[in-house]
Chains A and B, each alone.
Chain A
Amino acid sequence: MRVLVKGAGVAGLTAAFEFATRGAAVAVAETRHALGGNASWFAGGMLAPWCERESAEQPVLDLGRDAADWWDAATPGQVIRAGTLVVAAPRDAGELERFASRTSGHRRVDEDEIALLEPDLAGRFRRGLLFLDEAHLDPRLAMAALHDKLAAMGAEFRFGADAQHGSGFDRQIDCTGMAAADDRLRGVRGEMLILRTPDISLSRPVRLLHPRFPLYAVPRADTQFMIGATMVESRSVGPVTARSMMELLGAAYALHPAFGEAEIVETGVGVRPAFADNLPRVETSGEIIAINGLYRHGFLLAPAMARQAADLVFNQDGTKELTHETDGQRRSA
């Protein structure tokens, strides 16, 4: 079976990998000239379905809980399983209670345990939540690893390719995100920073709760940190705004003053494709399967979407329907 995957973001690469491992001959067409530049490139790379459940619906947890295993198997060595630490300033203790009551899979940690987990945060936060089963990865390294693995498996990459028609292919997988012609999709802009400082080190993503400016800091190699991310109802890909940068930096400084001395290595903007319920969809229309709407959950949910798409083709009975009902509807049902 010959499969054409359109789009080399996280949705396209995971779908290509899932089809290739099930024996399909895969070609990946990407209009950009190299990996990167898309929303996936600017992602945090947190595999944190329990934390996300604070504001996301149940399917995000159901579909995302196996993501770390998928990435570990597909790209060995990329996944760091160190959990997520959630903290709040003493003034915002209510935010921590709120977060705890909306999520599961965590345990409370006190000042001493925070100091053991993240020595550089010692004395800064009195209480926190540890989500031990969560993981993270560096999206850029993971995408490169997946690309290399696919290439080694014989997949063909067409970068800088114009609109591809699917002649000669049995199936097309449309993973073009915001570029897809689907007027149900909207863009949710996310702005992020990469900071570099040797003065602080973290072993895991840390989320700082704040009533106005929640923040996460994800440690990366070479004393870098990904700081994110804003959520703006806009499809604008223009540069990060001064206000967003100020908010992100202010929150980072509140997490640890050492971030005040950090170098700003990069600012980035990604526009996440989202449906009205902020849940992803796998949809078929003839020989075309579309995977879209991953919203802020690209690395978390792309593996499950890729599996669903492959199941649609390879096991006819494996077509699990995604539920799109809201939590409220489920409760009253």
Chain B
Amino acid sequence: MFDLLGTTLPSRLLLGTAQYPSPAILADAVKASGTSVVTVSLRREMAGGRAGEQFWSLIRSLGVRILPNTAGCHSVREAVTTANMAREVFGTNWIKLEVIGNHDTLQPDVFGLVEAARILCEDGFAVFPYTTDDLVVAERLLGAGCKVLMPWCAPIGSALGPVNIMALRSMRGHFPDVPLIVDAGLGRPSHAATVMELGFNAVLLNTAVARAADPVGMARAFGKAVEAGREAFSSGMLEPRDVAVPSTPTIGRAVFS
């Protein structure tokens, strides 16, 4: 169980809904992963008013909580407009805020992000900002009214896994009471387990599952890895040592070398 902004969620895995071979496979993957929150992008599908309504109905019928996102927005205005449309379409004040600053790396424009976050928080949104692992930016986002942070661990869709463990560790250390969700860059279940072992509250991923050869199997694998990583974190992991320590006593054995 995991408390996120006053909502109790059974799973610490959040799943994106793009790029699956079919909506049927998406539905199976959501079920197999055990996820209780899915993200959905509005921007592209908005072409033609509510013409994407059929896909959204499929998402709604998954029976899990929806976190709409502003994927692909490159400006504050665009992101704010999309967030407002999302609130209307999905009837939720949750919004995953993306303001992209670089077309190649899909790196967040952290200045625009803080500005958009302030506008949306003042308007009553619960803003989940997609940000870098920069501590100063994180402070500004919290100052703008965000109650949760979503740092990347590598560029979106890159499947690189955590490229800067030190930064993630430091972020966890600086904000012990803020829910931190690693968003973007996870490629395999061991990556998810690694960041969960660092004490992150949850992970969000999409491409690693959607573009796997068997998205349903991969969704299940990620669900288990997230659970394993969290349980390891709460169970207190052994620190590495420089000396070997036998797990069974050697004194008293017949041959002692």
In contact, A233 and B52 (Cβ under 8 angstroms): yes
**Does B49 contact A236, Cβ atoms closer than 8 Å?**
yes
Residues of the A chain whose Cβ atoms lie less than 8 Å from the Cβ of B1: none
Residues on A with C-beta less than 8 A from B21 are: 55-57, 278
Complex Cα gap A279–B23 (Å)? 11
When C-beta atoms are compared, the residue in chain B nearest to A278 turns out to be B22
Measured between C-beta atoms, what is the minimum distance from B253 to chain A in Å?
46
Q: A186-B58, A328-B216 given as contacts; is B47 within 8 A of A238 (CB)?
A: yes
Residue of A whose beta carbon sits closest to that of B214? A328
Nearest Cβ in chain B — how far from A93, in angstroms?
14
Which partner residue on chain B sits nearest A102 by CB separation?
A: B213
B214 touches A211 (CB 8 A): no
How many chain-B residues does the 8 Å CB contact rule pick out?
25
Question: Is B51's CB within 8 Å of the partner chain A?
Answer: yes
Q: With A276-B22, A326-B28, A328-B28 given, is the CB distance from A187 to B217 under 8 Å?
A: no
A:269-291 near B, CB below 8 Å: 274-279
Per the bound structure, the CA–CA distance linking A275 and B216 in Å amounts to: 19
Name the A residues within 8 Å of B52 (CB-CB). Answer: 232-234
Q: Is the CB of B28 within 8 A of A233?
A: no
Residues of B within 8 A of A55 (CB): 21
Q: Does B24 contact A (CB under 8 A)?
A: yes
Cβ of B27 within 8 Å of any chain A Cβ, yes or no, is: yes
Contacts of A279 in B (CB 8 A): 22
| A-side contacts of B216, CB under 8 Å | 326, 328-329
B24 x A276 contact (CB < 8 A): yes
In whole Å, how far is A169's beta carbon from the nearest beta carbon of chain B? 31
Q: Within 8 Å CB of B44, what residues of A? A: 232-233
- B89 on the A face (CB < 8 A): no
Measured CB to CB, the closest approach of chain A to B104, in angstroms, equals 10
Does B124 count as interface, using CB distance less than 8 angstroms? no
CB contacts (< 8 Å) of B217 on chain A: these are 328, 331
Q: What secondary structure prevails in chain B residues at the interface with A?
A: helix
Whether the Cβ atoms of B24 and A277 lie closer than 8 Å is: yes
Q: Interface digits, A234-259 against B, CB 8 Å rule (1 contact, 0 not)?
A: 11111001000000000000000000
A220 within 8 A of partner (CB): no
Which of B25, B28, B58 has most chain A Cβ within 10 Å? Answer: B25
Q: Mark A193-234, 1 if CB is under 8 A from B, else 0.
A: 000000000000000000100000000000000000000111
Interface residues of B in 214-244 (CB under 8 A from A): 214-217
Least CB distance from B204 to A in Å reads: 19
Given A232-B45, A236-B51, is A276 in contact with B27 using a C-beta cutoff of 8 Å? yes
Q: Does chain B have a CB within 8 A of A101?
A: yes
Chain A min CB distance to B62 (Å): 11
* Interface residue? B54 (CB, 8 A): yes
A189 to B46, CA, bound (A): 12
Query: Complex: how many Å from CA A186 to CA B21?
Result: 15
Query: With the chains together, A327 CA to B52 CA distance in Å?
Result: 26
A276 touches B23 (CB 8 A): yes
Question: Given that A276-B23, A278-B21 are known contacts, is A329 also in contact with B28, CB under 8 Å in the complex?
Answer: yes
Q: How far is the CA of A276 from the CA of B30 in the complex (A)?
A: 14
**CB nearest to B32 among chain A residues:** A328
Whether the Cβ atoms of A234 and B47 lie closer than 8 Å is: yes
Q: A278-B21, A328-B215 are in contact. List 8 more A-B contacts (CB 8 A).
A: A55-B21, A56-B21, A186-B55, A233-B45, A276-B23, A278-B23, A279-B22, A328-B217
Q: 9 tightest A-B contacts by CB? A: A236-B48, A328-B216, A236-B51, A186-B54, A233-B55, A277-B24, A278-B22, A234-B51, A276-B24
- List residues of chain A with CB under 8 Å of any chain B CB: 55-57, 98, 101-102, 185-187, 189, 211, 232-238, 241, 274-279, 324, 326-329, 331
Q: Can you give 14 A-B contacts (C-beta < 8 A)?
A: A185-B54, A186-B54, A189-B47, A232-B45, A233-B55, A238-B48, A241-B47, A276-B24, A278-B21, A324-B24, A328-B28, A328-B32, A328-B216, A331-B214
